[in-house]
Amino acid sequence: MGVRRYGYHGISYESIVYQLQPNVPEKLIVAHLGNGASISAIRNGKCLDTSMALTPTSGIISGSRTGDIDPGIVIFILKKIAESTPNTLEAADKLETVVSQEIRAAGHQRTLQRHARPARCDQHGNAKAKLAVDKFTWTIARWIGSYVAELNGLDMLVFTGGIGEKRYQTRARKFAQGWRR
């Protein structure tokens, strides 16, 4: 079918590798964290893997992505849509709307967008915002951990993007938890 896995933060990752010249570490993980978020494993300056895929239904939960969705959920939703929509293309369009807009709007993503500053959720005692930020930081830890395994170690971890660069509280929270949920 000709589908390849491309991340949307490639320019950000390329910039980090460029800025690290001539001493690019062999085993590098870059976390681009903002309203959209992704993490890439980079070996010898070349991207080995990225958490982003073709659609917002995989990768890190963020203000613009649902994060990983069980494919069975998508099939279940499609069957429900097909009950009232016999046209296959129309059913596929409805499924795309449900998965990329309605699920995202109903889930943690909307809360993350409204509470873009993770510290706000603690300051205001908003339980939904705290849960969203906890889920966000947990998925970050999960992806970083898997990339440490994939790279067989880690020489450097770089945070970039609006949250990665400016929200030290989010980074500190994750490290203070000892990478546990």
Q: Name the more confident of 117 and 128.
A: 128
**pLDDT band at 172; cut points 50, 70, 90:** low
At 64 the pLDDT is 67
pLDDT higher than 70, residue 180:
no
Average pLDDT over residues 77-87: 85
Q: Name the more confident of 173 and 58.
A: 58
- By CB atoms closer than 10 A (0-12, 13-18, 19+), residue 158 is buried
Q: Name the more confident of 75 and 164.
A: 75
Average pLDDT over residues 62-78: 78
Average pLDDT, the chain: 77
- Name which of 80, 86, 137, 84 is nearest 108 in CA terms: 137
pLDDT tens profile 7-44: 667 788 899 999 999 999 999 999 988 777 889 999 99
Looking at the DSSP bridge assignments, the partners of residue 62 are 65
At 21 the pLDDT is 94
Q: Where is 160: in which H helix or E strand?
A: strand 156-160
Distance CA 99, CA 17 (A): 34
At 115 the pLDDT is 45
At 59 the pLDDT is 82
